[in-house]
Chain A
């Protein structure tokens, strides 16, 4: 119990100290961000928030400035050692609108926030772990490194990748990774036919390649790192970042993911601000969801309608339950759940 008190206090002190204001947005909403594999839970005609992202960006559109929230979020059918259908997400945005023209900070400041939040929670929790039976508290990450996702994928798969390849160019790789991941087709089953729209085919192929590759190659790669090293994976293909801004002159998106001790903790973007592009990306993901037979989700019209007012900003979300579990040296989220 005291661990949660210490962790929540550490997160709030860290983000308030960095000049962010705390907000609390509605849990039941009309629409959630349309993601390929995140399923909302419905609640009396509305949806439980899968993330406070859309609501917080709307506050930014209205001039709220830099802000954070420790939100309860809900994702259907995610149940496992490190997944729960309800969990705490620390979500924060840094308004970069007042930067001098031409200065593009991008995601660097929020990557810095991730490192400081992780350090603050480990530090806040450590004395409690030490008090309790004299167990040695787990080591926080002592240093952080960055690794380019597409380069690492190319390296581990033995084929250099740019991140923008069309579906048929990565078809053979996908076959190999499926095999390695233990995905098989039964007799009479056929692989689903690739859709004709090349953008949709690319989205499907990259999403599947990334999901299986993460399991077969990224997780073992992270596990083999020396202890005490945190990793920020950067350089995601645009196909894997539905709400992130495209990097200038590149097919990559300004998205990062942070891992500590093999656990994916945080995910952040330099936020996309173009309503037309945002709608097109949501529509493409909706088309992908219908290929997979997933239920249609309402278009977040209120969010798209205000998006042209979004100041340049970068934001991130960090799974607090996972961070608390790591800081306590626990493998499973239910070991640190209060009830």
Chain B
């Protein structure tokens, strides 16, 4: 894959080990070469290193097995999922779930990745639908920086939404960016 396809949660194979991109920043000095400054986490040992790639470089995607699971519950330190077909349960430590925890609501279908038979991480659907539990009232046009305001959804995740959004509305959210996509009827 080309380095421009890099994003948070991309799985890479480096020196025969699976790595996941946990933090990702694109910088580009004036008319210079773009740099993809990443923190990558070894999906087996959990060790985190800084690594920078430059525009034009090529990377190998890690070949990890992925199966469908549903989210059951969390104890805080770990998250338990159930295989939708075999009802077999697996546990992921909170460290491996990371930031994705904010999208984990009951029965959410996710893909769990395993590398040599060990669960090492999860992939969320690209979009989830969540309902608004709290948001500021917004008055049309009464905004300095843009037509948005803050809102909190059922898992406690906070995001920017358009002014017309009310408590109880269902929002489609892009899990890769965390951003509001649209209001849906459900």
Q: Please tell me if the beta carbons of A83 and B32 are within 8 angstroms of each other in the complex.
A: no
> CB within 8 Å of B: which residues of A?
1-3, 35-38, 77-83, 128-129, 131-132, 181-184, 186-187, 207-208, 210-212, 214-215, 218-219, 240, 242, 257, 264, 267, 292-294, 328, 330, 334-339
Q: Which residues of A contact B33 (CB under 8 A)?
A: 36-37, 207-208, 211
Q: Please tell me if the beta carbons of B144 and A80 are within 8 angstroms of each other in the complex.
A: no
Q: Please tell me if the beta carbons of A338 and B29 are within 8 angstroms of each other in the complex.
A: no
Known A181-B35, A181-B52, A294-B56: A328·B30 in contact at CB below 8 Å = no
Q: Please tell me if the beta carbons of A131 and B144 are within 8 angstroms of each other in the complex.
A: yes
Q: Please tell me if the beta carbons of B147 and A1 are within 8 angstroms of each other in the complex.
A: yes
> CB within 8 Å of A: which residues of B?
4, 14-15, 25-35, 37, 50-56, 141, 143-147, 160, 179
When the two chains form the complex, which single residue of B26, B144, B146 contacts A129, counting CB atoms closer than 8 Å?
B144
Q: Please tell me if the beta carbons of A182 and B51 are within 8 angstroms of each other in the complex.
A: yes
When the two chains form the complex, which single residue of B26, B30, B37, B54 contacts A267, counting CB atoms closer than 8 Å?
B30
Assembled-state Cα–Cα distance A261/B16 (Å): 42
Q: Which residues of A contact B31 (CB under 8 A)?
A: 35-38, 240, 242, 267
Q: Which residues of A contact B52 (CB under 8 A)?
A: 181-183, 215
Q: Please tell me if the beta carbons of B34 and A37 are within 8 angstroms of each other in the complex.
A: yes
Assembled-state Cα–Cα distance A182/B38 (Å): 9
Q: Please tell me if the beta carbons of B145 and A37 are within 8 angstroms of each other in the complex.
A: no
Q: Which residues of B contact A83 (CB under 8 A)?
A: 26, 28
Q: Which residues of A contact B56 (CB under 8 A)?
A: 292-294
B65 to chain A, nearest CB (A): 23
Q: Please tell me if the beta carbons of A264 and B25 are within 8 angstroms of each other in the complex.
A: no
Q: Can you pick out 19 interface pairs between chain A and chain B where the beta carbons lie within 8 Å of each other?
A: A81-B26, A82-B27, A128-B144, A129-B144, A131-B144, A208-B54, A211-B28, A211-B32, A211-B33, A212-B35, A215-B27, A215-B29, A219-B27, A240-B32, A292-B55, A328-B144, A334-B179, A336-B146, A338-B146
Q: Please tell me if the beta carbons of A214 and B144 are within 8 angstroms of each other in the complex.
A: no
Assembled-state Cα–Cα distance A271/B156 (Å): 54
Assembled-state Cα–Cα distance A240/B15 (Å): 35
Q: Please tell me if the beta carbons of B26 and A78 are within 8 angstroms of each other in the complex.
A: yes
B151 to chain A, nearest CB (A): 15
Q: Which residues of A contact B26 (CB under 8 A)?
A: 78-81, 83
Assembled-state Cα–Cα distance A187/B51 (Å): 15
Q: Which residues of B contact A184 (CB under 8 A)?
A: 51
Residue of A whose beta carbon sits closest to that of B36: A80
Assembled-state Cα–Cα distance A218/B77 (Å): 41
Known A77-B4, A186-B14: A264·B30 in contact at CB below 8 Å = yes
When the two chains form the complex, which single residue of A2, A242, A257 contacts B144, counting CB atoms closer than 8 Å?
A2
Assembled-state Cα–Cα distance A39/B169 (Å): 40
Assembled-state Cα–Cα distance A83/B144 (Å): 22
Residue of B whose beta carbon sits closest to that of A214: B29
Most chain A CB within 10 A, of B30, B55, B146, B147, is at B30
A240 to chain B, nearest CB (A): 7
Which 9 pairs between the two chains have the least Cβ-Cβ distance?
A80-B26, A214-B29, A211-B32, A132-B144, A211-B33, A182-B52, A77-B4, A292-B56, A182-B50
